[in-house]
Amino acid sequence: MPSLARLIDTAMDRTVAPGYTRLGPAVRRRLSTWPADPPTDALAGRRALVTGASSGLGAATAEGLAALGAEVVLVVRDTDKGAAVVREIQGRRPLARLDVQRCDLADLDDVRRFVAADSADVDVLVHNAGAMPPTRTESPQGHEMTMALHVLSPVLMTELLGDRLRDGRVVMVTSGGMYTQRLREDDPEFVTGKYSGTTAYARSKRAQIELLPILQRRWQPRGVDVHATHPGWADTPGVAESLPTFRKITGPLLRDAAEGADTTVWISATQPPPAGGRLWHDRQPRPTQLLRRTRTGDAERDRMWSWVQELLGL
């Protein structure tokens, strides 16, 4: 029976649309391969940071972690929006322990300020903040925005937390869109060619995935495991703004934010801790490549990492 369940699960994944929509969790939850929910006190006494928690999947992740007993810091660039999310969650869950802290994740100096301003330990760090600017945009330090937001800032924050994150779990929220792009260590900031927001976004998410084994080797000696999760297709303000046509076509088939955040919450809390360095979707590890043309070698991965290291002064 588990092998039939695995076959159904994998077929839904490789045919993309059925697995990525709300059908994914609806079917998979009924399969014997679906892992159990963590107990409701799984994160009691733990502290979690969730970036981009003022909206969509980040807000749902914050709520999911708080429901498992964690004290959750919503790391947001707009604290009024963050406070509104806290009020909403506490309206449903009066016991949820939530705090809001400001950080512009595109600004590496602000990431440095943010980490220095606090001294408490962190057990779970969810790098969820994301964006898909339609035109080439640069961060305050002059980096292409999707690379700054999805790669440079998460790596920097995790590095700076150092021993405060000892034995913690780090989750990078990536995207199935990365399956369409190869690693572009030859042009990490999309300087050449005609810029496309969706391509830049998918390239930066590909970079997250390709760096995963390197980051796992680097952070594991501190007891830190790093995972990537992709949410499938979820109806969030980000999708409404950046992909209105896609949203119109897929409409009622999109997941809700909690369904999109499910694997991020699960992997932050499940025991025993899953091995790090892998991509997860709907509570199962998934391949990082589906197309021959996107394959990456160690040399390309290493060059990308050298670029990140040099920029961040690691």
Ligand X SMILES: NC(=O)c1ccc[n+]([C@@H]2O[C@H](COP(=O)([O-])OP(=O)(O)OC[C@H]3O[C@@H](n4cnc5c(N)ncnc54)[C@H](OP(=O)(O)O)[C@@H]3O)[C@@H](O)[C@H]2O)c1
Which residue in the block uniquely carries the two structure tokens 């934010």?
Answer: 257
- For residue 144, what are the β-bridge partners? 138
Is 201 known to be catalytic? yes
Neighbours of 279 (CB within 10 A): 21
In the complex with ligand X, the residue whose CB is nearer, 128 or 181, is: 128
- Residues across the chain: 314
Q: How far is the CB of 300 from ligand X (least distance, A)?
A: 22
Contact call for residue 105 and ligand X (CB under 6 A): yes
Query: Is there binding between residue 133 and ligand X (CB under 6 A)?
Result: no
Q: What DSSP character marks residue 234? A: B
Choices 21-29, 35-43, 76-84, 90-98; region in contact with ligand X by CB under 6 A? 76-84
Query: Minimum distance between the CB of residue 55 and ligand X, rounded to whole angstroms?
Result: 4
x-marked contacts with ligand X along 173-192 as a string, rule CB under 6 A: x-x-----------------
Shorter beta-carbon distance to ligand X: residue 54 or 288? 54
- 208, 228 Cβ separation under 8 angstroms: yes
131 binds ligand X (CB under 6 A): yes
51 within 8 A of 75, measured Cβ to Cβ: yes
CB count within 10 Å of CB 251 equals 9
Interior angle at CA 42, CA 82 and CA 97, nearest 5: 30
CA dihedral 59, 245, 173, 269 (to 10 degrees): 50
Residue among 199 and 220 whose Cβ is closer to ligand X: 199
- The reply to whether 73 sits near ligand X by the rule CB under 6 A is no
Q: Which of 39, 237, 244, 297 binds ligand X (CB under 6 A)?
A: 237
Distance in Å, CB of 122 to ligand X, minimum: 17
25 binds ligand X (CB under 6 A): no
Alpha-carbon torsion (17, 265, 78, 175), positive or negative: negative
Residue type, 87: R
168 binds ligand X (CB under 6 A): no
Closest CB to ligand X among 57 and 267? 57
Among 9, 13, 71, 104, binds ligand X (CB under 6 A): 104
Q: How far from 16 is each of 35, 179, 251, CA to CA, in Å?
A: 21, 11, 16
Q: Does 35 bind ligand X (CB under 6 A)?
A: no
List 17, 29, 44, 78, residue binding ligand X (CB under 6 A): 78
Give the active site residue among 20, 179, 195, 201.
201
Q: How far is the CB of 61 from ligand X (least distance, A)?
A: 9
Nearer to ligand X, 41 or 78 (CB): 78
Token match 């301003």: residue? 117
User: Which parts of 36-65 interact with ligand X (CB under 6 A)?
Assistant: 52, 54-58
Sign of the torsion formed by the C-alpha atoms of 296, 297, 300 and 302:
positive
Cα distances (angstroms) measured from residue 53 to each of 46, 62, 78, 86, 118? 18, 7, 10, 10, 18
Residues numbered 137 to 156 that lie near ligand X (CB under 6 A) are 149
Reading the block at residue 71, the tokens are 């004290």
155's CB contacts (< 8 A; 6+ apart) are: 211, 215, 308, 312, 314
| Chain contacts with ligand X (rule: CB under 6 A) | 52, 54-58, 76-78, 81, 104-106, 128-131, 149, 173, 175, 230-231, 233-234, 236-239, 260
Which residues are the active-site residues? Answer: 201
